[in-house]
Chains A and B, each alone.
Chain A
Amino acid sequence: MPGRGDSRGLVDAGITSTAGRRRRVVGVEGDLTAGDAARRAVEAVWRIESGRLVAGLARVTGDLGAAEDLAQDALLVALEQWPVTGIPPNPGGWLMTTAKRRAIDAHRRAETFERKAAALGRELIEEEPGVDRDEMVDRLDDHVGDDLLRLVFTACHPVLSLESRVALTLRCLGGLTTDEIARAFLVPGKTMAQRIARAKKTLTDEGIRFELPTRDDLSERLASVLQTVYLIFNEGYSATSGEDWIRPALCQDAMRLGRLLVALVPNEPEVHGLLALMELQASRLPARVGPGGAPVLLPDQDRRRWDRLLVRRGLAALARAESLRGPIGPYTLQAGIAACHARAQRPENTDWTRIADLYEVLASVWTSPVVELNRAVAVGFAQGPEAGLAVVERVAASGQLGTYPQLHAVRGDLLDRAGRHTDAAGAFQLAADLTRNDTERSLYTRRAAEARVTGQRSRPLSGQPTNDRFA
C-alpha cells in the first residue's frame, strides 16, 4: 500500500508526508471515503487548535461571540481547502491568518457582517505593512496561556446559566461542534445552536469583557469554572436521564478541560483537586457497566478492571492539591474520598472511617443533604447499619431530599443490612418509582424484589445503592 518513496507507512494513517512542507491528506482503504478521511483529519487539527484560535481572536476583538464566528469561518475555509492543498505546516497559524483575513474582508466590504470583526479588520490594516505572518503568530503565542485562561473565565462567566456555560465551554475550549454537544446532552441541534447564540448575546449585552478576573473575584469565578467542568464530567459519568448509564466521551472532554486548567492555574489546590476527582472516578468506568448494560456499583466492581493509569494520575493530582498552600475545598475532599476507594484493592479493605471523617469535613465546607447522605453510607460501613440509619433519618427529617431516589436507596440498603427486609423492600420500591434513570430503576426494582424474599440467611452485600459520584 505505501505509495511514494517518502511516505513510509503514514499512508495507512491517512496522511502522507511529502517531500515538501505540506502534509497531504489522502483517503484510506476501508469504510471511509477519501473525502471523509480528509474531513476527519481537518477536524482533528481543529480539536487541537480551536481553543487557542478562539482565545487569540477574542483577545483582539474583545468579544467572544465575534471571535467564535471568525474561527468558524476559518474552519469552513480549511474544510474546503485542506483536502485539496494538504494540511499546512503551521495549521494554527494558518487558521489565525485566515480568520484575520476574513475580518479584513469584512471591513473592506464595509458590511455590517460583524461589527467587532470589522473593527478587528481596521486594526489589522493599520498595522505596519509587510509584517511577517509567523512573527504575528509568535506574538499571539506569547499570550497563549493568558488568552486561554481569559477564554475559560469568559465562557464560564457567572452571568451565564450553567447549561450555557457548559455549551460554550465545550464549543470554544473543547472544539466540539454544536451537533456533537447537542447529541451529548440529548437535545435537538437547533436547541443547542440557540443556546450557544443566546449565551454569546448575553456576554455582549452584559458588557462582559474578555479579561481575567480581579483578585477579589478570583475565587468566585474559579468556582464557576470548576462547577462547569464537573457538570460536564457528571453528565457523562451518570446520565440524569435516558438509557445510557455512562457517556464516556463527555467524561473525557471534562478531564481534558481539567488537565488544561491545571496547566493554566497550577497554584490553586482545588483545580488539582477537581482533576484528581475526575481521574479517580473515571478510573472505575471500565468496571461500572456489566453485561447487558446493567450498572455495577462500587462494592461489586471487578477492581482489576479499574484503569490503573487514571488511578495513578488521580492520586498524583491529589498529592499536588494537598501539597499546595491554600484552603482544601470540596473537590479535593471528594478526591480524597475517591482515593480511599482507589487504594483499596478489595472492598473490605476500604478505610470507611477515613471516608466518614472526610465527609464530615466536606459537610463543614459544603452544607448539602446529599453530602450528609453519602456520609450516612460511610458511617453505615464504618460503624454498622444502625449508625448509618441514624444519619439517614436526620437527612430525611430535614425534608430536603424527599423525592431524591438515592435517599430511599441508601435507606433501603441500610435497612436490609440491619435485617429489616420488608422495610428495605418498601424503600427500594420508592427509589425505583422516583428515579428517571432506566438502569437505576431496574437496579432498585431488583433490590426491592430481593429484600422481599424474607428469611434470607446473611446474604452477601450486593450493591451500595448510592449515587457513587461522591464516593
Chain B
Amino acid sequence: MRYLIILKGTQPAGPPPEGLISAIMELGAEATASGAMLDNAGLAPSAAGARVTVAGGELSVMDGPFAEAKEFISYAIYDVRSKEEAVEWASRFMKLNADLWPGWEGESEVLKVMGPEDFAPPQ
C-alpha cells in the first residue's frame, strides 16, 4: 500500500540546531534502505509557487506566497503493509524534529494513495 505523507512544520526563530539535518537525512536513508520510502523532497516556500482556483465557474491563478512564511513543508511516498506502518514512519520524523529542536511544532498528514486493493474484488 502506498502512502503520501505531507509534513508541515513551523520552525522556531533562528537556524536549525546542529545535528538536526543530518539526523533527518540519516532517518531518510534508513527508510529508503529498508525499502519503505520510495521518494521524498522538501518543498520551496510557496512564494515560488502559484495557486490555481475554480470558484463560481471562474478559473483564476494567483502567485504565492500562501502558507505562513515560517512553515516548512516536505513530502514522502512510502510503500508499506499498513496504515500503522506509515504512521510509524511519520511519527519518527516528527519526533526527531520535536526532540532536537525545542519549540518546533508541526503536523503530518498520512494519506493513502489508491491502489488495486481499494477497488471492488473481481466479480
Contact = CB atoms under 8 A, between A and B. Distances in A.
A366 B34 CA distance: 30
Interface in B61-120: 77, 79-85, 87-91, 94-95, 98, 105, 107, 110, 115-117
Interface stretch (B15-23, B35-43, B44-52): B35-43
A369 interface: no
Contacts of B77: 309
Contact of A47 (B81, B98, B121): B81
Contact of B81 (A8, A17, A51, A249): A249
A9 B95 contact: no
B76 to A, nearest CB: 12
Interface string A282-322: 00011001011110000000000000010001000000000
A256 B35 contact: yes
B116 A309 contact: no
A40 B91 contact: no
B60 interface: no
A286 B88 contact: no
Contacts of B98: 17
Q: How large is the interface on A (under 10, 10 to 19, 20 to 34, 35 or more residues)?
A: 35 or more
B interface majority secondary structure: mixed
Contacts of A289: 116, 122
Given A256-B35, A292-B123, A44 B82 contact: yes
Interface in A239-268: 246, 248-249, 252-253, 255-260, 263-264
B35 A43 contact: no
A41 interface: yes
Contacts of B81: 44, 47, 249, 252-253
B32 interface: yes
Contact of A259 (B35, B89, B107): B35
Contact of A14 (B39, B87, B107, B115): B87
Contact of B116 (A286, A291, A294): A286
Interface of A: 8-10, 13-15, 17, 23, 37, 40-41, 43-45, 47-48, 51, 89, 246, 248-249, 252-253, 255-260, 263-264, 285-286, 289, 291-294, 309, 313
Given A43-B84, A44-B88, 15 more contacts: A13-B90, A13-B91, A40-B84, A41-B84, A44-B81, A44-B85, A45-B88, A48-B36, A48-B85, A51-B34, A256-B36, A256-B79, A286-B115, A291-B123, A309-B39
Interface of B: 1, 32-36, 38-39, 77, 79-85, 87-91, 94-95, 98, 105, 107, 110, 115-117, 121-123
25 contacts: A10-B94, A15-B91, A17-B94, A17-B95, A17-B98, A23-B91, A40-B84, A41-B88, A47-B80, A47-B82, A48-B88, A51-B34, A248-B116, A256-B35, A256-B79, A258-B35, A259-B32, A260-B34, A263-B34, A263-B35, A285-B116, A291-B123, A292-B122, A293-B123, A309-B77
